[in-house]
Structure 1
Amino acid sequence: MSLVHLANTCSHLQNATKARLGLTSIPDTKFHLGLMLALQNSGFLSTVVRGGPTPPPAHNLLSHPSSSDPEHPIEQVTRHNISSRRLWLGLKYWNSSPVLEKMSLVSKPTRRIWMDVTGLQKLVLGKNSGYVKGMTRTGECLFVSTDRGILEARECVERKLGGMLICRVR
């Protein structure tokens, strides 16, 4: 898990929403995929599709791609094309403003922040825990890397899980 690459991804997504792009891509890693699927489950992204260096066809963005489609077969991942794999993300807008306004890292590459359930509970209730500010804005989410994958902080409190704070999204 590289937080340096995640910092680049956070600023890329912010810039893409400010530029009003409908589709953008980031490097395909397991960590990026887990975070982007968590963002999609929270409603910040419309689609997450694995693909190559060119954007996937529109029908792959709207539904599950079929491997039996003769026009657009699913490209198999090999050791020769692994570096060119991308995650294609569909960005969402509501009333001409981006749903994903700001995405910032909480843990930095030089300082990783781990929190237990009681600390996460304080953050969810809007109180500060340590030197991490609580979630006070409407629609704000905090994503946590746990041993069960990347989850939103409220879900971690429900499941009584702690972990490393990754990023804050609003």
Structure 2
Amino acid sequence: MSLVNLAHVCSHLQNASKARLGLTSIPVSKLHVNLMLGLQREGFLSSVTLGGTTPPKPFLLQPTTSPEELETMADTLADEPWHAYPTLPESQDGRKAPPSPLGEERVFDVHVPLNPARRRLWLGLKYWNNEPVLRKMKLISKPTRRIWLTSEELGKITRTRQAGFVKGLTTPGECMFVTTDRGILEARECVERRLGGMALCRIA
């Protein structure tokens, strides 16, 4: 786990948000992928797409199904739940099966370079009222000093109290990510699961 590269990613995302960029890319690694997916779950990023040196196509960054279609699919499955199971493309007598009421499955081809060094992780940044959602992203553990926290200390931090060298989460919407043996989780989720780990970064 390279915290040096993570420090570059934190400063890059912070500068990209200040520059009002809609799309940016970072190098691919397991740490970066898991952390960016955590940021997307918490609502700081709009999309996380694996690609090459060129940006992905716009339709890959948008949801493939509209909310109206999702609501129609939910109503159909509530009335006829057997449609959730896949059907054979052809019936036994050779005739084609009728179209599914849930619609056709959409499959998109994404070009990912075979060379891992040419792969990039493309991130969609979010804004609200002309202000970036991700304003600050700061590294907590440093390459020369890694900070490990227990679940009790994380509980103090989530309740706006300081624990050791780490200050509490006082800003509304502020999050802190911790790497644990269950993966990279947000601090409040670690408190719920009673897990401790190494503090990675805090985002506000």
Does TM-score exceed 0.5, indicating one fold? yes
Please give the alpha-carbon distance, in whole angstroms, between the structure 2 residues aligned to 1:38 and 1:156: 13
Please give the alpha-carbon distance, in whole angstroms, between the structure 2 residues aligned to 1:63 and 1:124: 32
| Matched ranges for 1:39-50 at <5 A | 39-50=39-50
Note if contact 1:40-1:46 (Cα within 8 Å) is conserved in structure 2: yes
Q: Paired residue for 2:86?
A: none
Which digits, 9 at most, give the CA deviation of each residue in 1:59-79, with x for residues without a partner?
111136x9954xxx333553x
Please give the alpha-carbon distance, in whole angstroms, between the structure 2 residues aligned to 1:68 and 1:45: 23
Q: Paired residue for 1:102?
A: 136
Please give the alpha-carbon distance, in whole angstroms, between the structure 2 residues aligned to 1:3 and 1:138: 26
Task: Percent identity, please.
Answer: 60
Q: Paired residue for 1:75?
A: 111
Which digits, 9 at most, give the CA deviation of each residue in 1:34-77, with x for residues without a partner?
0000000000000000000000001111136x9954xxx33355
Matched, 1:156 2:190: yes
Q: Paired residue for 2:147?
A: 113
Please give the alpha-carbon distance, in whole angstroms, between the structure 1 residues aligned to 2:112 and 2:38: 24
Q: Which has the larger radius of gyration?
A: 2
Please give the alpha-carbon distance, in whole angstroms, between the structure 2 residues aligned to 1:45 and 1:13: 10
What is the SS of the residue equivalent to 1:62?
coil
Please give the alpha-carbon distance, in whole angstroms, between the structure 1 residues aligned to 2:123 and 2:113: 19
Q: Which has the higher strand share?
A: 1
| Matched ranges for 1:13-52 at <5 A | 13-52=13-52
- Give the count of matched residue pairs: 164
Cα RMSD between the aligned structures? 1.5
Note if contact 2:9-2:26 (Cα within 8 Å) is conserved in structure 1: yes
Please give the alpha-carbon distance, in whole angstroms, between the structure 2 residues aligned to 1:67 and 1:51: 19
1:135 corresponds, among 159, 165, 169, to: 169
TM-score with structure 2 setting the length: 0.77
Please give the alpha-carbon distance, in whole angstroms, between the structure 1 residues aligned to 2:112 and 2:203: 33
Note if contact 1:67-1:74 (Cα within 8 Å) is conserved in structure 2: no
Q: 1:67 to 1:4 in 2, by over 3 A?
A: farther
Structure 2, unaligned runs of 5 or more: 65-104
